[in-house]
Amino acid sequence: MTEKVKITGVPPQFDEAELERRVEGWTRVYRSTEQSMELVSACLGHEFLQKVIDKASQGYTITSTKHLNHAELYHSTYMVKPPAMQEEDIAKIRAEQKAKYIAHLQAEHARYHDMLRQQLIQAAEDKERKAAEAAKAKQLASIEKEVQGCYKPLVIPE
């Protein structure tokens, strides 16, 4: 026998606070990783310095969490994107998280619909089974009554 489906609770509804919690979590990830930065590198020192100057003039800043790398024929550092670029990235994060949240809500609603459908099917099948069992019992009782009425009881003298 299959396990009975019993729905508890209701499917989740859109909650702006939940969306903001998700966006804030991913924004923290964004700001604490290289996603909010750009790697600036060059083979020669003067090329590297010019790239850093060019990025700085565009609003980039040197990060304090990543160190400068000066090796033979390789110089690099991460530079933090300007606030306007970060806001664009965060707007994309917000859109992605909203889409994922909506997809999650839609999946949960579909799951609840499927569970309710299964619960109603099981209830209908149980009702049909009980009705069939009652009809069968009634039919057997009627047959037994007819059988008992056809013959005289067996009498055995003592």
Tokens coding 134: 């009652």
Digit-coded pLDDT (tens) for 65-124: 778 898 989 999 999 999 999 999 999 999 999 999 999 999 999 999 999 999 999 999
- Sketch the domain layout of the chain as residue ranges: 16-149
- Residue 60, amino acid: Y
Token digits of residue 158: 């003592």
Tens of pLDDT, residues 36-66:
999 999 999 999 999 999 999 999 999 887 7
Which residues, including other chains, have CB under 8 Å from residue 78's CB and lie 6 or more apart? 34, 37, 38, 39, 40, 63, 66
